[in-house]
Amino acid sequence: MKFTPQAIPDIILIEPTLHGDDRGYFSETFRQDLFNDAIGSKINFIQDNESKSSKGVLRGLHYQVAPFSQSKLVKVIEGAVLDVVVDIRKSSPTFGHHEAIELTANNKCQLFIPRGFAHGFVVLSDTATFTYKVDSYYAPEHERGIAFNDQELKINWQLKPDILQLSNKDKNNPTLANAKDLFDW
């Protein structure tokens, strides 16, 4: 596995090593010791989640606040998505900056997103199956969101706005400037 810090260094792109022949391939998709070494700390993932969505479905930008803030390890197992993370750590030099990375079933890449980031994705293919590990349980009363179309964030979701499909909750998320419970560390 290759671990590559992104422009926001705490975001890590993980590229698998494929071992293949005419029968197919084999790849390690997660190895705790290598992962911990790459991120410089220990993460204990406790819940796996999976969603399937059609083209244009945009989920996010979501985060959870203490005591249920979450680190995530995300991956696409079918289709393609544009995965977006926004730094919401108020004291960070990259506060308000974002990363946008295409994750696909073909590239088999994963993205590590530590606590202190809002996360979302949009489906670029006809359908996509998205899976992720988290290190804290889902707690709806601690879930928050940021508007996907916040003009200050300047996120290019790569699809025309008229084909985007959002939940009612996500349509009503506040801008980053008006978001509640941002991270102070």
CA pair distance 184, 134, nearest whole angstrom = 21
Active-site annotation holder among 132, 137, 138, 142: 132
Contact 114, 85 (CB under 8 A): no
Q: Which helix (H) or strand (E) holds 38?
A: helix 32-39
Structural contact between residues 38 and 27, judged by C-beta atoms closer than 8 angstroms: no
| Cα 110 to chain centroid, rounded | 9
| CA angle in degrees (0–180, nearest 5) for 62-11-42 | 95
CA torsion 42-46-50-56 (nearest 10°) is -50
Is 97 annotated in the active site?
A: no
| Among 19, 25, 62, 119, the one annotated catalytic | 62
Q: Annotated catalytic, 62?
A: yes
Q: Rounded to 5 degrees, what are φ and ψ at 107?
A: -80, -15
At 45, list the tokens: 């993932």
Q: Which residues are catalytic?
A: 62, 132
